[in-house]
Structure 1
Amino acid sequence: MELSEVTGDRLVQILATLANPHRMRILAALAGGEDYVSRLAREMGISRALLQVHLRKLEAAGLVTSRLVLSEDGKAMKYYDIEPFSLHLTPEALAAAALSLTADQSQGDRK
């Protein structure tokens, strides 16, 4: 995903998702390659439930993908990996993205 391919609404979603320190740490941990929920939770020192909340938000924003794998002992393991993206924010890029904001998104700060 490139910034030029992202609508204003999508950019707001991505930036809001990245504004959380846990999510930034999750992306940093996944930068080394895919990992499954239990091991990632242990490495990050947070509960699996909290990790899964953040992973769902990252997945909804299109920043990570997931897949289920059955282990040899029959356990379902959910693996996550980073979806390649590049966001180079400039005033011009933000101005272009702002043109495609929907009314709901552009009113978001006023609520």
Structure 2
Amino acid sequence: MLGVAMKTSPPTGDELVLVLATLANPHRMRVVGVLAAGGRAYVSQLARELGISRALLQVHLKKLEAAGLVSAQLEISPEGKAMKFYEVTPFAVHLTPASIAAAIPTLTGKGADG
């Protein structure tokens, strides 16, 4: 959904709100940190490493994926089990007062809480 990860132009106001709101949660920050440090991982592996339930992790992964900060790929193990692997999508948001001011005209009010 969010093009911040792939685009070279500054994020729109709505994209900026979405990214900041998504990263405002400590669990989601930890997910990004673990994936950035260790590469791709599947849900059970991530849940163990983070010390949270798979159900809670799935909620956070969905939000991270919707914001374009992680991507997922479904793979079949040699045993025939479906495993969803996640990895960080390279992204950068340069946050300054000027970048925030530039994003203001593009706000639609449909951001993370609108």
| Same fold by TM-score greater than 0.5 | yes
Moved more, 95-104 or 71-80: 95-104
Q: Which runs of 4+ in 1 moved over 4 A?
A: none
Identity of aligned residues (%): 63
The 1:104/1:29 distance shift into structure 2, 3 A limit, reads closer
2:22 corresponds to 1:17: yes
2:85 corresponds to 1:79: yes
Asked whether the 8 Å contact 1:3–1:88 carries over to 2, the reply is no
- Select the residue among 71, 76, 99 that pairs with 1:70: 76
Q: How many residues align?
A: 107
- Select the residue among 47, 56, 64 that pairs with 1:50: 56
1:61 aligned residue: 67
TM-score of the pair, normalised by structure 2: 0.87
1:88 aligned residue: 94
Name which one, 1 or 2, has greater alpha-carbon Rg.
1
- Select the residue among 8, 15, 18 that pairs with 2:13: 8
Provide the aligned C-alpha RMSD in A. 1.7
**Offset of residue 6 of structure 1:** 1.3
Q: Can you give the 5+ residue segments of structure 1 that lack an aligned partner in the other structure? A: none
Match of 2:91, as an amino acid?
Answer: F
Q: Which has the higher helix share?
A: 1
Residue-by-residue CA offset, 1:40-72 (whole Å, 9 max, x unaligned): 101111000000000000000000000000000
